[in-house]
Structures are given as C-alpha cells and as structure tokens.
Structure 1
Amino acid sequence: MTDPTTELPLVILDALMPTSQRQVLNRRGSSVWEAKGDRGRHAVKLGYPILATEEHPAQEWIAKAPAREAYVLNWLREERTLYGEWELGTWNVQPWHEGPDLWELWKPCRVEGSTVEPKLDVALSCAEALADLHVKGWAHGDVQPAHFIVGRRGVQLIDLALAHGQPVIEAFDFPFRGCLVHYEAPEISRSVLAEGTAVPTPEADVYALGAAFFISATGTRAVAYPDDAPRPVQRQAVVDGPHRPVTVPGAFGELIGEMLRPRPADRPTIGEVCKALDY
C-alpha cells in the first residue's frame, strides 16, 4: 500500500511522469508534493483518512478534500484541474504557484525593533484575490497567511477545499467543521462549538483576512489563548473575545480593527476593504 507521507501513488506517477518530486507539506490527513517533469511543474495533493486516537476522533472526511478542491477549482477556472481516487482517498494535480506566502513576505515587520511596515500593495492584492472569489459566489472558509502566494503575476489564493457557496458533487462533499482557530470568526467558532459544523460566509472571510493581516504584521494571534489549549478552549476564547489591541499603526491598523469586529454585519465588506487599501 502506498504511504502518502513518503511516496506518490502510481496513478499520479503515470499521469505526470515526473523527473523529480519532493514533499513540501505533511500534516494529519493530507500531504502536498512538488512534481517537475516534461509536463511542467505541479502541486500534487493527497488526502487520506485520519485514524482515531485517544486525543482525537477519526476524521474520514478529510480524504475527500483534494477532490472537493479540484471540483471548486474547475468551477472557478477555465483550466481543468486533474483529480481522482487512490487506495486511501482522493488526489488532485494543479499548477505550482511560485513565491512567498503572506506570512513569509512580512517577516521583516516582525523583527524586534523593526520599523518596517506591512506593504499595503500586497494587502490590497490579497483582498482583491478574496474579493474575486466572493464575486463568483464562493466563501473561502480557510483564509490564512499561508494561503496567499505572492508571485510575479500577483497574489494567488490557494487551498479551496473548504470553500462554500455553490453546489458541490455529493460524492466528494462534506460538512464544514471549522478551520485553523487563529482565523475563525466568532460566529464560526460559536456554531462549531454548538453544532459541530458551520457555514463559511464572506463576512467570516473578512474577519479571517483581518486576523491574517494582524498575525503576519505582528507575529501575535488576534485572540489570546494558551498555545497548547484544546480546540474547544481556543474557540470559546474567540467567542468570548475581545481580540487583542491592534498595534499596527495608522489607517491600516484601524482597518484591521474594523475587520475584526465581533458582529458580522459591523465588518466592512471585502469590496470596502479593497477600497480602503487602494490609496
């Protein structure tokens, strides 16, 4: 049986015939690879179920995530994203996006004593990428700094497996159970605590983008909770609030504060965020 943490399945090797491959990410339930060859440079995602442990229940749904993401990408783009099933779950193959992510790019801002300020043209490009998704009828559901790749051709918004807004093929769909809590809006955390699931919305994406700007510029999470706190404790901290004071200076800091408002209706729309950054 193929081990997704150490090798690519034969079905993908046959499809791409890569001359080189390297694993760039391995986390519970998924792995990401860079594959190069005569057919170009690609990102390959493998999904597989998470087995139950004493600390965590089993999560079989995550094995469907690559195929679900491919379905969303194919809805959004003219270029087809390849996907399929393998012995443990699903996979997809999509173009490789070269460049640093938002967290990496704003590292100089986080150096102690630094006077470097966040680049607002980058913030605008991130907001515009998210706005484009919203215009097309989708909420991302998993906005975080690592999902904005800043390349020569602008910002690419990646990792769309949790996006909601349009119908998704039933065979690869699954309920939204929240995302990385650092970027969860209070209403998302509240729903996950109460019901076990939530519904991603553009308003929650705006909150998440504000939290992504906050942590990328300062190195500190928007909401305080212990690093080793269980997920329910983290989510309750988000629900209870308030968020930390925004220390980013000037109008950008004021905008982040507006994006982090606890009530969805009080936050700016992503269009208003773009307008505020476009000066």
Structure 2
Amino acid sequence: MPGPPTDLPTVVLDALTPTSQRLVVNRRGSTVWEVESPGGHYAVKLGHPIEATPDWPAQPWTALAPAREGAVLHSLGRDDVTYGEWEYGTWNIQPWRAGPDLYVLWEPRRRHTPPLDPHISITPSCIDALADLHAKGWAHGDVQPAHFITGPDRVHLIDLALAQGGNIPAQYDFPYRGCLVHYEAPEISRSVLTTGQAEATPEADVYALGASLLISATGWRAVEYPDDAPRPVQREAVANGNRRPVKAPGELGELIDAMLSHDPKDRPTLQEAGKALS
C-alpha cells in the first residue's frame, strides 16, 4: 500500500452514510476520522500495515489494531462499537468523545513561568477511568495524555488496541511490544529490549499515568534521553531509571514521584493514589 487512505472505505460509508467526515489523525499505520451521520457522531479508525523503510522495520500489526480494539471493547460490554475488515487491514466505529485531552487541558497553565499548579480536580477522574478498566481485569498498555479525553461529564479513557487481560480473536491478536517510550515503565522497556515483547500490567499503567501527569503539568517527560534518540536508546534510559530532575508543582508532585518509582512494588495502587488526592 503506497500510503494511508485518503477516504473512508466503502464498508464504512455504507454503515454510516456520513453527512460530514474529517481526517483528524494520520500516522504510520493508522488514520482516525471524525464522522457525523444521521445515526450519530462517530470516531472511525482504519488500520493498515507499515512497510519497511531503511530506518524502520515492517509493522504488520498496525493493520489489526482497530479490530483488536473493537474486540477489547466488546469484551468490556460495549455494544456501541462495531469492527471488521477492509482492503488493507481492519476498522472500527465507536462513539466520538468530545473534549480536550489531558495535555491540551493543562497547556495554558504550563505556559506560565514558573508553571502554575494544574487543576488537579481532573486527576481523580483520570485515576477512576483507569481503575475502572483494571477492575474489569484489563491493563491498558498504552496510557498517555492523549488517551484521557476530558468531556463535559466525565473523563473517557480511549485507544485500547494494546490492552491485555482477556481473550482476543486469534486473527486479530498480536504480541504486546511496549508503547510510546515516554510513558513506558522500566520493566516494560527492559522486557522489550531483552525479549522483543512484554506484558501490560496495572503497575505499568500506574507508572504511565504518573508520566502522563508529569508531562501534562510541566511539559517535560519523566526520563532523560536525546529527543532524536533511537527507540532502543530511549528504552535503555528508561530501564536504567534516568529520571529528569523535574517535579510537578503543588501537591500533585509528590504523588507523581511515587507513581514513577522504578520498582513496580513501590508504586501506589490507583486506590491509594485517589486517597492521596482526596
């Protein structure tokens, strides 16, 4: 395939009969569309394989990710999600979640020098959204600020394509090989470096939430490495615990430091984190 799709596939157009559509994410291996139709307001995700380049190996799993997420959401009891296959991979259709993500929400306070204390009132809602997923037996595996959508009534935790905890149809499943390294726990990075894959866990999700809160509050990622470092170099820095000397302002800082503990056993549970803020 020469590149990402420039339009929605026929199977999606037939399912939704859009009145408007807008491409909102276009990245290696996937696109996300905002679609309005007579039946409602939807997010449509399309996956396609990534071809090998001189700098990157081929990534066939990206073609399967939308259907895998659909299967996870069905396992969680979501009957408002559909998924299937198209010419180059898989797709899913799910309700559109309106609102800024966590990083965008805190951006105005981050711009001040020094940064202002973030409105921590949203943090318990992020904790609750992740805790609800864990209570159902799943680890998210890809916690990052962009995946907490702060809607008018609640925080939505999105993008569950990498979640682990239940049965996935074999034709759509693939091994967990870590996530965006900025939010990867040391034990995940170490396992990926050693074996090529890892196991998503609640403890790693807690670390990722701490890293998400830190970068959203300060603009700085938790671990120090060159911005253009290759992914293995990034993971070595994470595995070795090369923390930046940066602290989130206000009472949130102490909690984030605990969530970023190198040893998973030293991190607070989400229940403990919620109590610390109450």
Shorter-normalised TM range: over 0.9
Q: Distance in 2 between matches of 1:3 and 1:185?
A: 32
Q: Distance in 2 between matches of 1:140 and 1:156?
A: 13
In the TM superposition, structure 1's runs of 4+ consecutive aligned residues that sit over 3 Å from their partners are: 1-5
**Considering only aligned residues, what root-mean-square deviation do their CA atoms show, in Å?**
1.4
Partner of 1:47: 47
Which stretch shows the higher mean deviation, 109-118 or 218-227? 109-118
Which stretch shows the higher mean deviation, 168-177 or 140-149? 168-177
State whether structure 2 residue 182 is matched by structure 1 residue 199: no
Alignment CA distance shift 1:3-1:11 (3 Å): farther
Which amino acid is 2:72 matched to? V
Which amino acid is 2:62 matched to? I
Q: Secondary structure at the match of 2:25?
A: strand
Which amino acid is 1:208 matched to? A
Q: Is the 8 A contact 1:149 1:158 kept in 2?
A: yes
Partner of 1:14: 14
State whether structure 2 residue 256 is matched by structure 1 residue 256: yes
Partner of 1:93: 93
Partner of 2:144: 144
Partner of 1:225: 225
Q: Distance in 2 between matches of 1:229 and 1:177?
A: 18
Which stretch shows the higher mean deviation, 4-13 or 123-132? 4-13
Which amino acid is 2:20 matched to? S
Q: Distance in 2 between matches of 1:73 and 1:246?
A: 36
For structure 1, the 5+ residue unaligned runs are: none
Deviations 1:13-70 (A, max 9, x none): 0000001101000000000000111111100000000001111111111100000000
Q: Distance in 2 between matches of 1:168 and 1:78?
A: 15
Shift of 1:203: 0.1
Shift of 1:214: 0.4
Alignment CA distance shift 1:222-1:150 (3 Å): same
Q: Secondary structure at the match of 1:250?
A: coil
Partner of 2:172: 172
For structure 2, the 5+ residue unaligned runs are: none
Deviations 1:76-129 (A, max 9, x none): 134231100001000000000000000000002211415531111111100100
Identity across matched positions, percent? 63
